[in-house]
Amino acid sequence: MTRSISGQIAIGLAVAGTVSAGVLVALVGHQYGFFSEHPPPAAATWVEIVDHVLIPLSVFLLLFGLGAFLVLRHVARRLKAATGEVVAAAERLESYDAGANPLPTEIEPFAKAVSQLTTKLEAYARRQEAFAVDAAHELKTPLAVLALELDKLPEQDAARLRKQLNAMTGMVEQFLLLARSQSEESLAKQPPVDLHAVARRVAAELAPAAVADGKTIAFQQEGTPGRITGLAEAIAAAVRTLAVNAIRATPEGGEVIIEAGPGPVVSVYDGGDGLSSDALDALKARGVRADRAPGGAAGLGLAIADRIAEAHGGELQTAMPDRAGVRLCFAAACNQKAPSG
């Protein structure tokens, strides 16, 4: 069982006090002849033990314990401050600098190890982001060439390939938007994003495709407009991904609703069975299409949408058990809109 440092010190003081009391009683007893053939009276014995053992030892333990408590409290405050710095650095996706808040010598090696670990993780993340951006940019050229080559094929042959090519092109664009969303400098320069306007625009863009599929899509506004600082194109791509998945999951004749608000929340409701929290987490982690429909799509839409929301301080959540669908929530709205079951 793990005990606190204060508890371990208290136990150590209790053991040390017991052992010290025994040793002192033995020494005082030997000096005053407590263990001889003719020991002094019992009353005198107890007086000597109290005066020469219990009182001095109690005063020592009290002062030592008080000093240890003050030292521990000071160290705990420094550790708490360092912990806050580590948490703040983690939220900013930055490395932790152990030298910014010097710690006691015994703890400094651990703090430096944490600093080295976070520095390596940050460097690795930056390399991965740079690779994703470079790869996405490199893919745009051959995709554009393929689109031109498809125009040379008969329409009946090119239609199916063009659908897959468009899906791949959209995925590459999402990767680029995700990379831009993860740049704090880029996000800081962006104007506030009106989530209501974004949701309304996505609903209008997807309306023809929904009607062609025998379904309808509608926009609803709840409460005051929600605004966040971020990349409007990236947020729109995330909402579009949720809406496209909702159209797939909705049976023919059904309706998809894109609801903005209240606050910084965009919800997409469909006519399907909905997703539980566990199912949504599995889809986000594994990149599996929610409708399990054939067609060879990459299946990364929900994962990218979740990463875009995370880059903007938000989260992708299920709308169940209230309704079938998912929602993008940002900032404090994530806790307010979290599902209860």
Q: Which residues are registered as beta bridge partners of 325? A: 269
Is the peptide bond prior to 321 cis by the omega test (within 30 degrees of 0)?
Answer: yes
Query: pLDDT, tens digit, for every residue of 237-260?
Result: 889 888 988 898 888 888 999 998
CA neighbor of 297 nearest in space, from 288, 286, 307, 285:
288
What is the pLDDT, as a whole number, of residue 340? 38
Which tokens hold the place of 258?
A: 């894109």
Are residues 194 and 309 both part of a single domain? yes
Mean pLDDT, to the nearest integer, of 79-104? 74
Which tokens hold the place of 280?
A: 């949504």
Q: Is residue 255 part of a domain?
A: yes
Per-residue H/E/C for 52-94 = HHHHHHHHHHHHHHHHHHHHHHHHHHHHHHHHHHHHHHHHCCC
Mean pLDDT, to the nearest integer, of 305-311? 83
* 147 SS3 class: helix
Instruction: Say whether pLDDT at 18 is over 70.
Output: yes
Instruction: Say whether pLDDT at 332 is over 60.
Output: no
Q: Is residue 77 part of a domain?
A: yes
Which tokens hold the place of 9?
A: 């010190």
Are residues 73 and 192 both part of a single domain? no
Are residues 324 and 205 both part of a single domain? yes
Specify the range with the lowest mean pLDDT, choosing from 43-47, 60-64, 127-131, 257-261.
127-131
Domain boundary among 91, 111, 137: 91
- Looking up tokens 């808040």, which residue turns up? 101
Q: Is residue 62 part of a domain?
A: yes
What is the pLDDT, as a whole number, of residue 187? 60
Are residues 65 and 201 both part of a single domain? no
Mean pLDDT, to the nearest integer, of 153-167? 75
Which range marks the domain in which residue 17 is found?
5-91
Domain count, the chain: 2
What is the pLDDT, as a whole number, of residue 339? 43
Q: Is residue 328 part of a domain?
A: yes
What is the pLDDT, as a whole number, of residue 294? 35
Asked if residues 306 and 316 have their Cβ atoms less than 8 Å apart, the reply is yes
What is the pLDDT, as a whole number, of residue 203? 92
Are residues 190 and 326 both part of a single domain? yes
Q: Is residue 155 part of a domain?
A: no
What is the pLDDT, as a whole number, of residue 117? 80
Question: Is the whole-model pTM more than 0.85?
Answer: no
Q: Is residue 259 part of a domain?
A: yes
Instruction: Say whether pLDDT at 107 is over 80.
Output: no
Q: Is residue 124 part of a domain?
A: no
**Residue-averaged pLDDT of the chain:** 76
Domain boundary among 71, 91, 111: 91
Q: Give me the DSSP letters along 93-122.
A: T----GGGS---TTTHHHHHHHHHHHHHHH
CA 280 – CA 283 distance, rounded (Å): 5
Are residues 214 and 83 both part of a single domain? no
Domain boundary among 76, 91, 106: 91
What is the pLDDT, as a whole number, of residue 297? 40
Residues ≥6 apart with Cβ < 8 Å to 139: 168, 172
What is the pLDDT, as a whole number, of residue 77? 82
Are residues 76 and 191 both part of a single domain? no
What is the pLDDT, as a whole number, of residue 298? 38
Question: In residues, how long is the chain?
Answer: 341
Instruction: Say whether pLDDT at 97 is over 80.
Output: no
Instruction: Say whether pLDDT at 88 is over 60.
Output: yes
CATH of the domain at 190: 3.30.565.10
Are residues 59 and 191 both part of a single domain? no
Q: Using 50, 70 and 90 to split pLDDT, how confident is the model at 185?
A: low
Q: Is residue 147 part of a domain?
A: no
